[in-house]
Structure 1
Amino acid sequence: MEKQQQLLTAAYHLFKTKGFKATSIAEIAAAAQVAVGTFYNFYDSKAAIFLQIYTAENERVKANIIAAVDLDADPLPLVRQVVHEIMVQSQDNLILQEWFDNPKLNALIAQTAPSAVETSLVYTTFVRLLDRWQARGLLAPGMTQARGLSLFNAVVVVDFHQSEITTTDYAQVLDDLITGMLAVILK
């Protein structure tokens, strides 16, 4: 496990400073002080190690954002703030930026992580928010947690396919979808 951790640490730093495309397996192995063959003992490709790093980095950043917000704040500004912070922090993070800039990696992440949505921090936070909003009487009549989660899942599906949406302002499109979703969920 020590060599695998060395590879992960080296790959993390290289992906964070150079990005996915500019980083080679040989550079990762050299930075980890292991042979290239050792890399292949743990990962079958550069994309495989990147996916592991991307998933951890994505959850780390989202945890920091969720920890910094007041989950009892007014719902629309709260959700907008969280989404805005995710976009801003992704902008300056070469690992997370691959989601927006690299359609092949975007598709690979979406393909390998569909069940990861339910275990993600944002998803579990949204479940908690629905419970809080229901307890505070903020949900629209007839709105159930299952329906709210279905609406949230629809936004996630759109985000997974954001590379297919022809727009120069994806952040605004996402904000519009979230605003519309909350207009249906909340009174």
Structure 2
Amino acid sequence: MVDKRQALFQAAHHLFLTQGFKATNIAQIAQNAGVAVGTFYRYYDSKEALFVKVYTTENEAVKAKIIANVDLDQAPEPLIKTILQQIFQFTNQNTILQEWFTNPKLNALIASHNAQAVEDSVVYTLLLKLIKQWQTQGLMKPEMTQERALSLFNALTVIDFHQSEIQTTDYYQLLTDLITGMLTVILK
């Protein structure tokens, strides 16, 4: 038997990826999933609610792929910059992930639904591992604790959740500058 929730999710993922959020409607999602429009509403409250689930899954999958292909033993600054560059590169190539930067309403919706999920993200887990590794290797300043370093990186999450409110034409450069400054505070 076909799992209708999964069929709707997969159809939405495909449509959001190929034609974007705005160009996709519930009727198209239902048709591509092989179900009636009414069936859509048994599983999802709205196109936006389904998009948040698709976005979250896509975001974590892309970040896991990036992390799997990065040399985690390289020096901290180039490592963090490489991860950030790849996140932006993959985002620019992915219509689902682009919505975070181009659609303030979806950005706010995603942020409100995912604020509690930060600690479960692959990037958060990686940062914990890296901070412990840097401390063990003696790369962190003596007064810098793991908790303080993690708090600095967590502040980037808050900034990212509110990026649509920041007046800049080069958000990537802003994050790069902030990370460079943070690493100056964290590392010897």
- Establish whether TM, by shorter chain, passes 0.5: yes
CA apart distance, 1:109:
0.7
Per the alignment, residue 48 of structure 2 pairs with: 47
Amino acid at match of 2:124: Y
Q: What is the 5 A alignment of 1:99-118?
A: 99-118=100-119
TM-score (norm 1): 0.99
Find the residue that maps to 2:115 and give its secondary structure.
coil
1:156 aligns with 2:157: yes
Q: What is the 5 A alignment of 1:119-158?
A: 119-158=120-159
Q: Distance in 2 between matches of 1:162 and 1:140?
A: 30
Amino acid at match of 1:16: L
Find the residue that maps to 2:73 and give its secondary structure.
coil
Amino acid at match of 1:45: S
Gaps of 5+ in 2: none
CA apart distance, 1:72:
1.1
Q: Distance in 2 between matches of 1:92 and 1:71?
A: 24
Q: Distance in 1 between matches of 2:58 and 2:174?
A: 24
Paired positions, count: 187
- CA offset digits 1:151-171 (Å, max 9, x no partner): 011111111111011111110
CA apart distance, 1:141:
1.7
CA apart distance, 1:7:
0.4
- CA offset digits 1:77-123 (Å, max 9, x no partner): 00000011000100010000000000000011111111111110001
Amino acid at match of 2:33: A
Amino acid at match of 1:97: Q
Per the alignment, residue 80 of structure 2 pairs with: 79
Gaps of 5+ in 1: none
CA apart distance, 1:130:
0.3
- CA offset digits 1:16-50 (Å, max 9, x no partner): 00111110000000010100000000000001111
Q: Distance in 1 between matches of 2:184 and 2:58?
A: 31
Q: Distance in 2 between matches of 1:27 and 1:90?
A: 24
Per the alignment, residue 169 of structure 1 pairs with: 170
Q: Distance in 1 between matches of 2:141 and 2:20?
A: 44
CA apart distance, 1:67:
0.4
TM-score (norm 2): 0.98
Find the residue that maps to 1:113 and give its secondary structure.
helix
Give percent identity, aligned residues only.
61
Q: Distance in 2 between matches of 1:167 and 1:149?
A: 25
- CA offset digits 1:123-151 (Å, max 9, x no partner): 11000000100110001121011101110
